[in-house]
Each structure stands twice: as C-alpha cells, then as structure tokens.
Amino acid sequence: MDYRHLHLVAEICRHGSFGRAARALEISQPALSKSIARLEDQLCVKLFARGNGRTQPTIFALHIVARSRQMLGNAEKIAIEVRQMAINHKGRVRIGAEPISRFGFLPALVESIVENFPQLHLEIVDRPGAEIVQSLLAREIDIGITDLHESSMAAEVVIFPLFQSPVVAVARPQHPLFAKAGSQRVDDYPVVLLSETSSPPHNPKASSVLGPVDLVREIVTRTDAITRGPAFLFRDEIARGMLRKLPERIGSRYACNILATAGALHSPIVTRIVQSAQAIAKGVGAKAPPRSPRQKRGKSR
C-alpha cells in the first residue's frame, strides 16, 4: 500500500461513491475500481460494500482514512510550500562558505539576497574548502563558496567561476624590507599566513604562524612579520597606509567559485542567487577566469 492508495480510499469515503470519487480524481471509474480491487487483494480484506447504488466503507477503510489523515494533510501542506517556494521565493537556502569569503564578497551577497528575497530563510554556514563539496552532496548545504579547483569537484557539482585575485606579500610601511639599502630578505622575517588558505611554510631562519584573517592583519600591522594572501583581503589596509605590498613575485592566484548541484539549480531561488553572486563578483576588482567546457555547462539561466 502506498500514498496513492491512501488517497483513493480517502476520496471514495469522502464522496460516498466510486463514480463521484473517480470524477474528482479525474480518472475513469473502471480504473479506480481495479486499483481498489488490487488493494483489497493485497490486504486480504474488503474495503467497501456496494449495493442498491450505495458504497459503504467497511471498518478497514475507515481505519485507513483515520490513520492516513495526518499523512495526507502533511503531503498537501508540503505541496503548497513547494508551490510557494517556486512562485513567491519562500523557503530556506543554506550557503556553505569558506571563512575567507566573509571579507569583501559574502556580506554583499547576503545583502542582495535579503533585499531580493525578504521571505527567504537564509543560513550561512562556515565550512573549510575541503568540506564544501561533501556538504553539497550530502544535502547539508544548497550553495558553496570556495577556491577549490575543478579537479577537486564531483561530477554532480556545477561550478560557476566568480573572480580571481593575485596573491601578494604585504608588511607594515616601517618594515626594514622597505629600506633603500640592506641585504635583508623576506625569508629573514617571521611569516604569518591565513589558516583558511595556507599550510605552514618550511623556513629554518624564521618562525611561522597560521591564523585567521583578523589575527593576521593585527600581527602584521604591529610587528615585522609579513604575510601573503589574496590582494582583496588587504585592499583597505593598503589604501589607508597601514600595509604596503612587498616587491616579492608570487605567481599564484586565489580563484573564488560558487558551486551548486544540478538538482539544486532547479530552484529559481538558487539560480538567482548564483546570478547575484556573479554580478557582485565583478565589483571585487578582479577578472573572472576563462570557463572550461564543464564550467560552460554550469552557466546560470
């Protein structure tokens, strides 16, 4: 016995006849009769007594209706909620984001979502980049924001490149490395790196520290430690003269992507959030990377 059987029995009891129930269900009466006959065979009981033009539910049919009333009501409620999600942009969306995305990008995206979807319940969840794809596949989040490369993705995940940012080395303006003369090198000084994007470097000459963005900024502006990271993280401090770029040549770049499963992209809300993220990313000040063939298939609608 499945949900459809429960619905058929409930409709026959409600309408009092197979004919009226069939019309309400928009199926033929013979088809309805056959479905009930198969169910009676399966349960080995008689569900309806028919005679003199009347249909009377037996105690078994009445028990089915009583026990399934809440289930059928919940199913109808769920159907209404789904229609509201699609039409009125209600419901819940969970975004899993690397902590580094809180700086410069994620706040603007959240502001856009709140403005465009006032009835949406939005959840922001901190996730290390390595866990975001797994969380998407486990349906723990609906959207992911990470710098993971395409080679790290599962086939079910669609990738939308947002922006790239060069990785720079910075230090406070009073740092000895900015002196015109001297034989000092970057490796002679402590290095403070972002725990979200780095692993400890091997440098026998100086100590190294891994920490969150706020701690890294504080240490570098107050000591002779240096740091490396995506340029957008230090934009404000550089503009205010609190930090300066070092002439060190770093070839790597930070690439930010927004991810969703193909199933999640059937939601118009998820699709519009991806589109908003792409528009906001243009203002981060970095150029979007070229799309690979797989990424082109993930182009938002």
pLDDT by residue for the chain (301 residues), tens only, comes to 888 888 899 999 989 889 999 999 999 999 999 999 999 999 999 999 887 767 899 999 999 888 888 888 787 777 776 666 666 566 789 999 988 888 878 999 999 999 988 888 999 998 888 789 899 999 999 999 998 766 556 778 899 999 988 989 999 999 998 886 556 677 788 888 877 654 445 554 545 667 788 888 899 999 999 998 889 889 899 999 999 999 877 778 888 999 999 888 888 889 999 999 999 988 764 444 444 434 444 444 4
For 142, residues 6+ apart whose C-beta sits below 8 A from its C-beta are 93, 94, 95, 136, 260, 264, 267, 270
- Of 139, 170, 182, 162, residue with least CA distance to 288: 162
pTM over 0.75, yes/no? no
Checking DSSP bridges between strand 208-211 and strand 191-194, what pairing results, if any?
parallel
CATH of domain 3-87: 1.10.10.10
CATH of domain 91-165+253-297: 3.40.190.10
Which amino acid is present at 206?
A: A
Give whole-number Cα distances, 99 to 134, 144, 170, 243, 263, in Å: 17, 12, 20, 22, 25
Pinpoint the residues of the chain covered by CATH 1.10.10.10: 3-87
Question: Dihedral sign, CA of 187, 192, 198, 200?
Answer: positive
For 78, residues 6+ apart whose C-beta sits below 8 A from its C-beta are none
Q: Which helix (H) or strand (E) holds 168?
A: strand 157-171
- What confidence score (pLDDT) does residue 297 get? 43
What's the rounded Cα separation, in Å, for the pair 161 and 154?
A: 16
3-state secondary structure of 250: coil
Pinpoint the residues of the chain covered by CATH 3.40.190.10: 91-165+253-297
**Structure tokens belonging to residue 284:** 């981060």
